[in-house]
Amino acid sequence: MMNPVQPKPCTILDVHKESAHEWTFRVETDMKVDHGQFMQLSIPKIGECPISVSAQGDGWLEFTIRNVGKVTNVIFEKTAGDTMFLRGPYGKGWPVDQFKGKHVVIITGGTGLAPVRSMLNLFASQPDMVKSVHLISGFKNEDGIVFHKELEAWKERFSTIYALDNDTKDGWRTGMVTAFVKEIPWDSFGGDYAVVVVGPPPMMKFTGLELLKNGVDVEKIWMSFERKMSCAVGKCGHCRIDETYVCLDGPVFPYTIARDLVD
């Protein structure tokens, strides 16, 4: 019988410090992952935690991690050549096929950029895939900015608005991401668009409301959730909200479902 919670050992290829508290770990594996899916990272003697895949390539996956818990604190002690255990991938990712040929608006808060990073890179490398990409990316302050190089590169490819909540930075705006929703040229899309929102729960809640206020079609909005999980395969119950399991039915949800989920 197959054991869906059996972790597999993988070698860490590289550790890249995005910010003081957010590092990206590149891990050697042949596992194929849909954009927006997540995996369980496993450290024997410590435990497991669900982390979304922040980039993928031939023979490797990347995870962008903040050291805020028991497992992630130990992962931060690891360096290239060390072993990390993985299992997955799990959940439903972004419906990339549905985004093809459309104007795609992506709004992220903080490290919420990680679960959309691989999809953004896909759109950057295959510009014909979508009509346009509008990216609004907000961070609390300059110390919280991740993926510096890519943020610069995406400026060339996409229409971007980068912002810090309260601080100022050259070329960046100041304010919450919700403040910039009205600057997206919604009328020019002819209804042919999709919106992706990822960030902390309050950010997603208020961004959803702001989108509706701007006349955005509720059926065209997608969000990615984050919840506590032990198993990631619909057994442990930690991530359940109503009749929905975030690990199985999410983490990516259409807003029509996401807005009605009450923890």
- Binding footprint of another protein on the chain (CB under 8 A): 1-7, 9, 44-49, 66, 68-72, 83, 85, 226-228, 230-231, 233-238, 240, 242-243, 245, 247-248, 260, 262-263
Do residues 15 and 23 make contact, with C-beta atoms less than 8 angstroms apart?
yes
Helices (H), 128-217: 148-157, 201-213
Of the chain, the end-to-end C-alpha distance in Å amounts to: 34
Distance CA 66, CA 22 (A): 4
Which CB, 71 or 196, lies closer to another protein? Answer: 71
In the bound state with another protein, the residue whose beta carbon lies nearer, of 32 and 45, is: 45
Contact in structure between 165 and 140 (CB atoms under 8 Å): yes
Least separation in angstroms between CB 172 and another protein = 25
Q: Which is nearer to another protein, 86 or 164 (CB)?
A: 86
Residue 58, number of CB atoms within 10 A of its CB: 5
List C-alpha distances in Å: 240 to 130, 225, 236, 261: 34, 12, 9, 10
Nearer to another protein by Cβ, of 43 and 105: the residue is 43
Shortest separation between residue 221's beta carbon and another protein, angstroms? 19
Q: At its nearest, how many Å lie between another protein and the CB of residue 217?
A: 20
Output the smallest distance, CB 243 to another protein, in A: 4
